[in-house]
Structure 1
Amino acid sequence: MDFSIEDIVEDLNDLDLAILHLLHAGNNDPVRGKVAFQKEVFLIADYIETIREQAGFIPHTLGPFSESAENGVRNLKSLGLVEEKYHEYHITPNGIAVLSKARSAFTDEQIEAIQGYKEFLNDLSRDEILLFFYVSYPDFTEKSAVYERVTRKRIPAAISLYNKEKVSLEKAAFLAGLPAEKFLDSECS
């Protein structure tokens, strides 16, 4: 059965639209893997209340996880709006067409924030992403399968985040679990 773009647009919820905006952000750059996808959607949900309610993030084996977001991207793939290649999520031309026809669910400021979250996380390693979330959102660590391993390597990961200019000196020191002066000493050695 074929669906028209208008039929698809009518059936999308705000979480679906947020996922499409995320994948469209940054010149349609793909989202690199499930961990990055979940954490980027988490930041969107942390900022936009309707997405927070629809996503329903819970603590999971790799930090914050939303079954609704997972089901949403799967549904968007089945509609031909998203494709997954080499563990990366891409928006398709049909996804772009649907997004351009969809009602404006978000303000310009919210769309800019979605773009910013993607820019922030999309080029980080899995351990850098997990460290950022484990330290910044400790309520989501209780079921983590890799918390101990990630936090054992927290200083090099925090240095990398700082050197990539992803976080301030204060945030990098916080992620490393060190006072700023000690962090600077470890960063220089």
Structure 2
Amino acid sequence: MPESGLSFEEEEAIRSKFIAILLSGADRPIKNKINFQKELFLFAKSFPKFFALFEFIPHYYGPYSQSAADSIENHDDYFVSDTKGIYLTAEGKNIAEESLLNEFSTENREKIIISMNIVRSLYDSLTSDELMFLVYKTYDYTEKSDKIDSLLEKKEYLAGRLLKKGVITEKRYRELIED
């Protein structure tokens, strides 16, 4: 049994609902598995109890959660992962809506909706390189990275793109390009 005191099935149900909520934050798929992992990481960082359920580890392309990947793969009734990206089925949309309405207090629901909307509106427009660069420079997770060296070689370009897209400020731009 996991350390949370919940059974594996209970944890899996919570993970699936949390992922569904993230995906419901926009009427478009998350572009690919790399961006999905990073957006989920950023969304979950705001909620430590949920974050712990995903067990993110340093991986080839930054923070990675095997349990999140398994949830997407094992719940094709909720999630689709194809050439369009990762998105919800009709049942997945219902799960997200029901979870938001029935499983959170009004205050927590508002926090989740705000965080979900920020993550989806800010990060959906980023390329995988831009998103990985931002996450690496903010949270590290570079230990096993296959990409960090190539991203750092073009840090001024990537930071410039993030600034141009309005994702970061001038101050953050300068922080990102420092060695």
**Structure 1 match to 2:162:** 161
**Structure 2 match to 1:129:** 131
Alignment match of 2:78 (pick from 77, 81, 85): 81
SS of equivalent to 1:32: coil
Alignment of 1:15-94 (within 5 A): 15-26=15-26, 28-77=27-76, 80-86=77-83, 88-94=85-91
Q: How many residues align?
A: 165
Structure-2 separation of matches of 1:159 and 1:40: 20
Structure-1 separation of matches of 2:24 and 2:125: 16
SS of equivalent to 1:95: helix
Structure-2 separation of matches of 1:130 and 1:143: 13
Structure-2 separation of matches of 1:54 and 1:154: 32
TM-score w.r.t. the length of structure 2 is 0.85
Structure-2 separation of matches of 1:25 and 1:157: 25
Shift of residue 11, structure 1, vs aligned partner:
8.7
**Structure 2 match to 1:13:** 13
User: Unpaired segments of 5 or more residues in structure 2?
Assistant: 1-9
User: Unpaired segments of 5 or more residues in structure 1?
Assistant: 1-9, 179-189
Contact conserved, 2:21 with 2:97, CA < 8 A, in 1? no
SS of equivalent to 1:107: helix
Give the structure with the larger helix fraction.
1
**Structure 2 match to 1:3:** none
Residue-by-residue CA offset, 1:78-110 (whole Å, 9 max, x unaligned): xx2111221501111121122233332452112
Structure-2 separation of matches of 1:43 and 1:73: 17
1:89 is matched by which residue type in structure 2?
I
TM-score w.r.t. the length of structure 1 is 0.81
Structure-1 separation of matches of 2:137 and 2:97: 37
**Structure 2 match to 1:115:** 117
Runs in 1 of length 4+ with deviation above 3 angstroms? none
Shift of residue 122, structure 1, vs aligned partner:
0.9
Contact conserved, 2:72 with 2:81, CA < 8 A, in 1? no
Structure-1 separation of matches of 2:81 and 2:172: 33
Structure-2 separation of matches of 1:163 and 1:46: 25
Structure-1 separation of matches of 2:126 and 2:151: 14
Structure-2 separation of matches of 1:12 and 1:35: 21
2:120 is matched by which residue type in structure 1?
K
Structure-2 separation of matches of 1:142 and 1:11: 27
1:95 is matched by which residue type in structure 2?
G
Contact conserved, 1:14 with 1:50, CA < 8 A, in 2? no
Larger Rg: 1 or 2? 1
Contact conserved, 1:44 with 1:51, CA < 8 A, in 2? no
Residue-by-residue CA offset, 1:101-123 (whole Å, 9 max, x unaligned): 33324521122101211111111
